[in-house]
Amino acid sequence: MTDWERIVGRHGPAVWQTAYRLLGNREEAADCFGETFLAALEFSRGQKVRNYGGLLRCLCTCRAMDRLRQRARLSGREEGLADWSNVASANPGPVEEVQATELSERLRRALAKLPGQEAEVFCLRCLSELSYRDIGRQLGLKTSAVGVLLHRARSRLRELLSGSIGSSEAEI
């Protein structure tokens, strides 16, 4: 029998951090957190899980990306500002806070436009800081394929984000 209390205690903070970083909204992050552990429970009933940390981060990233894509489809208008009030900071000024929030929102919208595997690889590498080898294991890809997908994701994000500077936010 799997000790879910221990698994949630050990991996819960990383799952929460992944969800909140991607979604920037406490309510959506909480929903994503619950969906992630529910999906892991269902997955573990079908086969043995060797690396719960990796599985949970991968499942969380997939669910968060699905939510970002749904958010982008449902709304062509700008989303409300993220709730950053509970995030520790080095006391940035109001201007820096607004700039960081706007950049985060632009990055979330740009991530929602990436193809699925590119977005997953980017998030697992840049946000969860997994190695190419670990990402490859989680997604069933060769290490070289992970590098190619990461390069494509970075290139597309650069295009999407640089195109938004000086142009309408709706174009992101």
| Residue 96 · residue 107 · CB < 8 Å | no
Residue ranges of domains in the chain: 4-76+98-171
Q: Where are the alpha helices (DSSP H) in 48-93?
A: 52-74
Structure tokens belonging to residue 57: 């981060």
| Residue 88 · residue 97 · CB < 8 Å | no
Q: Residue 97: its pLDDT value, please?
A: 77
Read off the pLDDT of each residue in 29-33 and give the average, rounded to a whole number. 93
Q: pLDDT tens digit string along 107-149?
A: 888 888 988 889 889 988 887 888 999 888 888 899 999 999 9
d(CA 170, CA 132): 33
Q: Which comes out higher in pLDDT, residue 86 or 84? A: 86
For helices 94-113 and 52-74, angle between their N-to-C axes, nearest 10 degrees: 90
Q: Is the pTM of this model over 0.85?
A: no
* Domain covering 4-76+98-171 assigned CATH 1.10.357 in the classification: no
